[in-house]
């Protein structure tokens, strides 16, 4: 018997509806009726500046102040990402009771929301998109929202971009989500044997109760878990500068070179703006000038004009720093080293915060900021040489990381942030 695919509507907001193929297994209509649609699932316009968050709805759900959110693979359906050529129809419920449990939550007044990371190859992603209407057809009386992060950006769990979009969509309908009355169910919970802990971290970041599939669907007791990775709660409480016996900016101000050393994203440019800019120090930065040669030339010009300058680069090794020490000796001026002591883990965390996890109130007022590639951090680590006074510095001042910002900014900075790993 030949098979003929039924159709499902795709609403991308760009004009006439498009038609995508779905397997006829779940069709409520005759396979010969090409004009009928077997699914009430609609793909909406993808979200985000780069359209990396897929968004769709089943049965035109309405916003509710309580949310029952669920991961997809390994929670609602069995995961089959490891299969090389999985077809859209190649899926099954994680447990047979899943449909009735979702219906039960909806009938209890919850908005059903599916939250999924789908960082897979483009061809597999298209197959995955064809699978979603089939799952929706098997939930004919469960309206739901679906969000899927397809890139390593602020939408990817445990970052909260998908939740932020959900809140925005609900707010447009004058519905504010009750976080205490909502919950999230996911299998990436940090238990022994789990592939990750990102689902649990996502719930912690948002501030909603978390359950594993075993706890929610099977009513099993909670299992022990660990949350690996960097969290700001592990940072020691240190003064901004050590030693504290000497000033950051001398008085009176004299021509000198201040050389920054440290990973990207540890606040070097911020320190310049806060401490040195108003004192008349020339700002020299390779990201702006393009090459080290141009940085050295700018420093030479500043010193030739009797002006102090700040070299705002990573300056990770002795050879790089020596060029500036030699320049200071040539002009007979002191050179001080400001070593930003934060770890690579902290620097990477700050990088993700600035690029992907700023509070909406802050992100909306600042230009988009791209993340610094991970290679820049590992490259710094592999080539780093501890600065020493013997290199020719008149002083080495340690700059310890101290977060500065509003309570809202601290809240977002303090979240679990990652795009890879467990």
Q: Residue 83's pLDDT is what?
A: 65
> Do 251 and 183 lie in a common domain?
no
Give the SS3 label for residue 75. coil
Q: Residue 16's pLDDT is what?
A: 35
Q: What is the β-pairing status of strands 18-22 and 67-70?
A: unpaired
The total number of residues shown for the chain amounts to 422
Residue 202's domain is classified under what CATH number? 3.40.50.1000
pLDDT at 361 over 50: yes
81: confidence class by pLDDT, cuts 50, 70, 90: low
> Do 245 and 205 lie in a common domain?
no
pLDDT tens digit string along 136-154? 999 999 999 999 999 999 9
How high is the mean pLDDT of the chain? 90
Residue in 165, 159, 160 with CA at minimum distance from that of residue 146: 165
84: confidence class by pLDDT, cuts 50, 70, 90: low
260: confidence class by pLDDT, cuts 50, 70, 90: very high
Does 43 map to a domain?
A: yes
- The DSSP string of 80-123 is -TT-TT--TT---BSSTTHHHHHHHHHHTTPEEEEEEE----HH
pLDDT at 327 over 70: yes
> Do 183 and 71 lie in a common domain?
yes
Does 232 map to a domain?
A: no
Does 228 map to a domain?
A: no
Q: Specify the DSSP element, H or E, that contains 338.
A: strand 335-340
> Do 146 and 90 lie in a common domain?
yes
Q: Residue 15's pLDDT is what?
A: 36
pLDDT at 231 over 90: yes
> Do 176 and 50 lie in a common domain?
yes
Residue 336's domain is classified under what CATH number? 3.40.50.300
Which domain does 377 fall in, by range?
Answer: 241-413
Is pLDDT larger for residue 34 or for residue 382?
A: 382
115: confidence class by pLDDT, cuts 50, 70, 90: very high
> Do 114 and 182 lie in a common domain?
yes
> Do 253 and 190 lie in a common domain?
no
Q: Are 323 and 296 within 8 A, CB to CB?
A: yes
Q: Residue 82's pLDDT is what?
A: 63
> Do 201 and 256 lie in a common domain?
no
Residue 255 tokens, joined: 């021509």
Q: Are 369 and 355 within 8 A, CB to CB?
A: yes
Does 404 map to a domain?
A: yes
Section 371-389 average pLDDT: 97
pLDDT above 70 covers what percent of the chain?
Answer: 90
Q: Residue 38's pLDDT is what?
A: 52
Does 313 map to a domain?
A: yes
In whole angstroms, what is the distance from residue 200 CA to residue 211 CA?
A: 8
Strand ranges in 5-100 using DSSP code E only, listed in sequence order: 6-10, 18-22, 41-43, 53-58, 67-70
Question: How remote is the C-alpha of 192 from its chain's centroid?
Answer: 25
In whole angstroms, what is the distance from residue 416 CA to residue 230 CA?
A: 7
Does 302 map to a domain?
A: yes
Does 231 map to a domain?
A: no
**Residue finishing a domain among 217, 249, 269:** 217
> Do 145 and 84 lie in a common domain?
yes
pLDDT at 26 over 60: no
pLDDT tens digit string along 88-106? 899 999 999 999 999 999 9
> Do 182 and 312 lie in a common domain?
no
> Do 349 and 396 lie in a common domain?
yes
pLDDT tens digit string along 328-355? 999 999 999 999 999 999 999 999 999 9
Section 239-265 average pLDDT: 96
Is pLDDT larger for residue 183 or for residue 23?
A: 183
Burial tier of 60 (Cβ tally within 10 Å: 0-12, 13-18, 19+): exposed
pTM (two decimals):
0.86
Q: How many domains does the chain have?
A: 2
Does 348 map to a domain?
A: yes
pLDDT tens digit string along 153-209? 999 999 999 999 999 999 999 999 999 999 999 999 999 999 999 999 999 999 999
356: confidence class by pLDDT, cuts 50, 70, 90: very high
Longest dimension (CA), the chain: 91
pLDDT at 47 over 80: yes
pLDDT above 90 covers what percent of the chain?
Answer: 83
Q: Residue 20's pLDDT is what?
A: 40
pLDDT tens digit string along 400-414? 999 999 999 999 999
């Amino acid at each position: 018997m030949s098979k003929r695919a039924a159709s499902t509507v795709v609403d991308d907001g760009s004009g006439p509806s498009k038609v995508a193929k779905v397997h006829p297994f779940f069709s409520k209509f005759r396979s010969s009726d090409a004009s009928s649609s077997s699914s009430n699932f609609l793909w909406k316009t993808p979200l985000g500046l780069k359209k990396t968050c897929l968004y769709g709805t089943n049965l035109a759900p309405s916003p509710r102040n309580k949310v029952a959110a669920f991961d997809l693979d390994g929670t609602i359906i069995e995961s089959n990402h490891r299969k090389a050529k999985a077809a859209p129809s190649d899926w099954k419920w994680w447990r047979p009771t899943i449909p009735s449990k979702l219906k039960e939550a909806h009938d209890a007044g919850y908005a059903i929301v599916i939250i999924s990371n789908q960082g897979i190859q483009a061809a597999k992603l298209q197959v995955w998109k064809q699978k979603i209407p089939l799952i929706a057809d098997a939930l004919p009386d469960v309206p739901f929202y679906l969000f899927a992060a397809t890139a390593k950006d602020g939408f990817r769990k445990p970052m909260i971009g998908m939740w932020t979009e959900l809140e925005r969509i609900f707010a447009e309908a004058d519905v504010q989500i009750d976080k205490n009355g909502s919950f999230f169910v996911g299998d990436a919970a940090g238990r022994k044997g789990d592939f990750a802990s990102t689902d649990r971290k996502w719930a912690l970041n948002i501030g909603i109760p978390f359950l594993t599939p075993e706890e929610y669907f099977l009513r099993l007791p909670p299992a022990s878990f660990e949350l690996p990775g960097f969290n700001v709660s592990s940072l020691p409480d240190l003064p901004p500068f050590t030693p504290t016996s000497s000033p950051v900016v001398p008085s009176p101000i004299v021509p000198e070179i201040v050389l920054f050393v440290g990973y990207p994203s540890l606040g070097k440019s911020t320190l310049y703006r806060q401490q040195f800019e108003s004192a008349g120090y020339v700002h020299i930065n390779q990201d702006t000038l393009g090459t080290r040669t141009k940085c050295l030339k700018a420093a030479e010009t500043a010193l030739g004009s009797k002006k102090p300058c700040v070299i705002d680069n990573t300056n990770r090794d002795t050879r790089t720093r020596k060029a500036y020490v030699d320049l200071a000796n040539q002009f007979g001026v002191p050179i001080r080293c400001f070593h930003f002591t934060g770890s690579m883990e902290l620097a990477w965390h700050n990088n993700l915060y600035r690029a992907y996890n700023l509070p909406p109130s802050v992100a909306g007022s600042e230009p988009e900021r791209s993340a610094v590639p991970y290679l820049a951090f590992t490259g710094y680590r592999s080539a780093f040489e501890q600065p020493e006074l013997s290199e020719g510095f008149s002083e080495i001042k340690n700059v310890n990381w101290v977060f500065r910002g509003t309570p809202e900014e601290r809240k977002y900075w303090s979240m679990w942030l990652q795009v890879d790993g467990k």
